[in-house]
């Protein structure tokens, strides 16, 4: 993205290089620890089954999510209806929703004791069983269908409306419209969407932990967890983590290479033009939209209703301690990520080869928290008990993995501010902290609030690294909820799920609103 170079003072550049060094250290040192340990043992009994299942479920999750997203995105692009904005906003909910809470909602609808199993029982049919591959795919589609839809929807909305009006005037049929409009959009968006969903599905530990399990349904991350927590097989965990890293980096590299948008030219009016008022296309689009709304909305409604009922039955012990711990970890990781990303953006904008620094930070998206966590576990174990550092390590890893997301949101905003007001700031002699306070901060405040809100919400609901390090007397809200589900205290787990959901959305809302109205 273009823009005038940003003047950076020497201290800012030093701090920027220090931030880059710290991030590189956090990634490279654990990987080196994995490499050093991987050669001293095998991968365990789950090594190859876990790799095969991970590749299978991630590939199927990507194919199913994107295949369903194509008709949904097209329907949302070409139809205007009451509640359309709400529907598009609903598509963003699963991204913030803690994974373990989403699993609870899906079980309430699709599980053996869920709504659909009860309906089947009325027809003397057996209950649904969503554990194993079926359940993992269901959860991943729930999470990633909205994301894939948003990616594809951006492609259709980028087409100038004049192109569709011209196609109507020329009386182009459906095959010609597909060749001229839909096919270029799909070519430009589908590969990136497939690879992004593949990466996310490959590293969704909480879903596999709650709905997978067993030799036939264990992912690489689940096998790492078992190797560290139950078998203490450091070599096996290291080998699995290296495989996870290599697969993620390969998918990320392909996503960067294929991530090119279709070009349709400029326009004053952007947006898909409704191509037909015939009843059948409109009816089909309506069915697709309603089905998607129910698929996403029903688990959210179940979380709300079951959570309220669970809270009425009493609060589980340790709830407020777990809430306090989660808030501390989320706020710490968010503030740390914010400081690092601002320093990195200043550095990227001020040095030759800044794009390579940005690429390195973006590749963190391909680095599973389990890869970093396993490396840190191996690194710390000879010197100090990793379990004693559960919370600081969780906050640190969450901060590192929030950097790519925050960088993507904040860097364009900072470049825009410098492009629009940089010359004026130069004339006034503003630099360093004064320049950031009076120029950059007011211009990037909305994006800053949005980015920090996402980072805080994601950290609040994370059930990943904490499972590797947490001793029995330490727990966050997601970990408490998982332990309650494991002991079949489903009413108590429902209450914790509602509190966790409310906390995550409250953090996002407060940061986002603070950015827009500060």
Q: What is the mean pLDDT of the segment spanning 304-331?
A: 91
Query: Residue 490: what pLDDT?
Result: 86
| Distance, CA of 402 to CA of 174 (rounded, Å) | 43
* pLDDT tier at 181, thresholds 50, 70, 90: low
pLDDT per position as a tens digit, 258-301: 655 444 444 444 455 455 566 877 888 889 999 999 999 999 99
Q: Tell me which residue has tokens 């909820």.
A: 481
pLDDT band at 477 (very low <50, low <70, confident <90, very high): very high
Q: Which of 181-195, 357-371, 449-463 has the highest mean pLDDT?
A: 449-463
Higher pLDDT, 172 or 114: 114
Please state, in angstroms and as integers, the Cα–Cα distance from residue 189 to each residue in 149, 158, 300, following that order: 10, 12, 28
CA distance 192 to 171: 32
As a whole number of angstroms, the distance between CA 141 and CA 345 comes to: 34
φ, ψ at 371 (rounded to 5°): -65, -50
Q: Which two tokens stand for residue 26?
A: 């956090």
The proportion of the chain whose per-residue pLDDT surpasses 70, expressed as a percent, equals 82
Q: CATH 1.10.3720.10 region(s) of the chain?
A: 1-36+316-518, 46-155+188-306
Higher-confidence residue: 21 or 94? 21
How many CB atoms are located within 10 Å of the residue 425 CB? 19
Reported as a single tens digit per residue, the pLDDT across 67-77 is 999 999 888 88
Lowest model confidence (mean pLDDT) among 157-161, 226-230, 359-363, 367-371: 157-161
- For the stretch 444-466, pLDDT in tens is 788 888 889 989 998 998 887 88
**Mean of pLDDT over the chain:** 80
As a whole number of angstroms, the distance between CA 92 and CA 457 comes to: 13
Greatest mean pLDDT among 324-338, 341-355, 418-432: 324-338
Q: What is the pLDDT of residue 114?
A: 86
Quick check: 288 and 282 in contact, CB under 8 A? no
As a whole number of angstroms, the distance between CA 229 and CA 236 comes to 12
Quote the pLDDT of residue 335.
94
- Answer yes or no: is pLDDT of 303 > 60: yes
**Yes or no: domain 1-36+316-518 corresponds to CATH 3.40.50.300:** no
Within 158-278, where are the H helices?
161-169, 174-177, 183-202, 205-211, 220-229, 234-258
Which of 300, 255, 363 has the alpha carbon at shortest distance from 143? 300
pLDDT bucket at 473, cuts 50 / 70 / 90 = confident
More reliable by pLDDT, 428 or 391: 391
Does 178 score more than 70 pLDDT? no
Q: What is the CATH number of domain 46-155+188-306?
A: 1.10.3720.10
pLDDT at 12 over 70: no
| Mean pLDDT computed over 302-329 | 90
User: Phi and psi (nearest 5°) for 68?
Assistant: -75, -30
What DSSP assignment string belongs to 303-360?
Answer: HHHHHHHHHHT-PPTTHHHHHHHHHHHHHHHHHHHHHHHHHHHHHHHHSTTHHHHHHH
Structure tokens at 109: 């609808």
pTM exceeds 0.85, yes or no: no
- Residue 242: how many other CB atoms lie within 10 Å: 19
pLDDT confidence bin for 243, thresholds 50/70/90: confident
């Amino acid at each position: 993205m273009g823009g005038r170079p940003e003047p950076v003072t020497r201290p800012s550049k030093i701090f920027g290089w220090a931030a880059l060094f710290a991030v590189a250290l956090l990634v490279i040192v654990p990987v080196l620890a994995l490499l050093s340990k991987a050669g001293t043992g095998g991968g365990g009994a789950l090594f190859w089954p876990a790799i095969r299942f991970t590749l299978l479920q991630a590939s199927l999750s990507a194919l199913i999510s994107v295949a369903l997203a194509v008709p949904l995105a097209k329907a949302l692009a070409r139809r205007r209806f009451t509640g359309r904005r709400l529907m598009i906003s609903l598509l963003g909910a699963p991204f913030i929703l803690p994974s373990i809470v989403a699993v609870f909602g899906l079980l309430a609808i699709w599980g053996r004791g869920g709504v659909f199993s009860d309906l089947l029982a009325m027809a003397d049919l057996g209950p649904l069983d969503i554990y194993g591959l079926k359940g993992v795919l269901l959860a991943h589609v729930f999470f990633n269908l909205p994301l894939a839809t948003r990616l594809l929807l951006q492609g259709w909305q980028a087409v100038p409306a004049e192109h569709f009006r011209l196609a109507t005037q020329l009386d182009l049929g459906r095959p010609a419209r597909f060749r001229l409009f839909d096919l270029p959009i799909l070519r430009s968006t589908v590969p990136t969407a497939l690879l992004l969903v593949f990466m996310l599905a490959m590293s969704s530990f909480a879903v596999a932990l709650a709905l997978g399990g067993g030799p036939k349904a264990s992912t690489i991350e689940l096998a790492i967890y078992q190797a560290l927590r139950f078998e203490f097989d450091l070599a096996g965990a290291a080998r699995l983590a290296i495989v996870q890293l290599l697969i993620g980096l390969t998918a990320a590299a392909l996503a960067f290479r294929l991530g090119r948008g279709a070009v349709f030219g400029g326009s004053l009016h952007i947006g898909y033009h409704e191509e037909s008022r015939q009843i059948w296309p409109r009816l089909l689009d309506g069915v697709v939209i309603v089905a998607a709304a129910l698929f996403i909305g029903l688990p959210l409604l179940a979380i709300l209703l079951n959570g309220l009922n669970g809270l009425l039955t009493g609060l589980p012990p340790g709830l407020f301690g777990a809430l306090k711990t989660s808030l501390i970890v989320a706020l710490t990781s968010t503030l740390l990520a914010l400081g690092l990303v601002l320093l990195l953006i200043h550095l990227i904008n001020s040095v030759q080869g800044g794009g390579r620094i940005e690429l390195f930070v973006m590749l963190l998206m391909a680095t599973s928290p389990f890869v970093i966590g396993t490396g840190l576990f191996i690194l710390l174990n000879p010197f100090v008990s990793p379990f004693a550092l559960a919370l600081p390590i969780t906050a640190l890893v969450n901060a590192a993995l929030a950097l790519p997301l925050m960088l993507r949101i904040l860097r364009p905003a900072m470049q825009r501010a410098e492009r629009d007001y940089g010359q004026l700031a130069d004339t006034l002699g503003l630099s360093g902290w004064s320049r950031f306070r009076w120029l950059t901060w007011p211009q990037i405040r909305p994006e800053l609030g949005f980015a920090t809100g996402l980072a805080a919400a994601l950290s609040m609901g994370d059930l990943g690294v904490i499972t590797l390090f947490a001793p029995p007397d330490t727990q966050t809200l997601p970990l408490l909820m998982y332990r309650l589900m494991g002991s079949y205290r489903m009413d108590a787990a429902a209450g914790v799920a509602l509190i966790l959901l409310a906390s995550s959305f409250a953090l996002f809302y407060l940061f986002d609103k603070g950015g827009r109205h500060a």
